[in-house]
Structure 1
């Protein structure tokens, strides 16, 4: 029964007038090599981030939200809508989302050369002072 509710809410989220596409879990599994530890970029308060490569060669960053997160589906839906509306040329672009089973993910364009904060604040940890 719970899966049916998730499916119904997932369809409702997909039917929103978003310019953010839905990615299925199988596509993300292939892109990240089943969330291989070799593809792990880091982790934050909301979960792990993995690098992936889609079958067309496009590199992505997958923010896999923690299963223990207290964020509900409505909050996630609002976050997707907000991030989609906030897209700007100086921000990493949200490419899509995935909600399937107990998996909830945001798919971003991959930003090479380290983290965004090191780029913004000019941090270079290889220098010695």
Structure 2
């Protein structure tokens, strides 16, 4: 991906990695304002959307639902944990956005790949 507008400092994320920080404006453009047509699904903490950034890189964008009950502390814990985990069987965390009461995680996009299909043989 082309460079983002900044990065979350190690101090702010309380971990040893530099994580790209995306603006809400850039995410809105990539998801076409979180249009229903780009919705990939819904998890326990909110919906996932497919996003396409200006450099044609696809991403899966997890938008924390305001009704999820997950607050800023839980979001930051998830962010720190996922940022530290790198494995060939896990999707990579590409960046995040914490802006205007939005908490968003940006993952690599895996077309036609679903863990339930891999594990359950669907």
- TM over 0.5, shorter chain: yes
Query: Whose strand fraction is larger, Structure 1's or Structure 2's?
Result: 2
Query: How would you bin the TM-score normalised by the shorter chain?
Result: 0.7 to 0.9
CA contact (8 A) 1:13 1:77 kept: no
- Give the CA RMSD over aligned residues: 1.9
Greater CA radius of gyration, 1 or 2? Answer: 1
**CA positional deviation for 1:95:** 0.6
- Provide the TM-score with structure 2 as the length reference: 0.83
Query: Whose helix fraction is larger, Structure 1's or Structure 2's?
Result: 1
Deviations 1:82-121 (A, max 9, x none): 1111121111111111111121111000110142221233
Match of 1:105? 104
The runs of 5 or more residues in structure 1 that have no matched partner are: 1-9, 124-129
The runs of 5 or more residues in structure 2 that have no matched partner are: 1-7
Match of 2:90? 91
- Provide the TM-score with structure 1 as the length reference: 0.79
Match of 2:28? 29
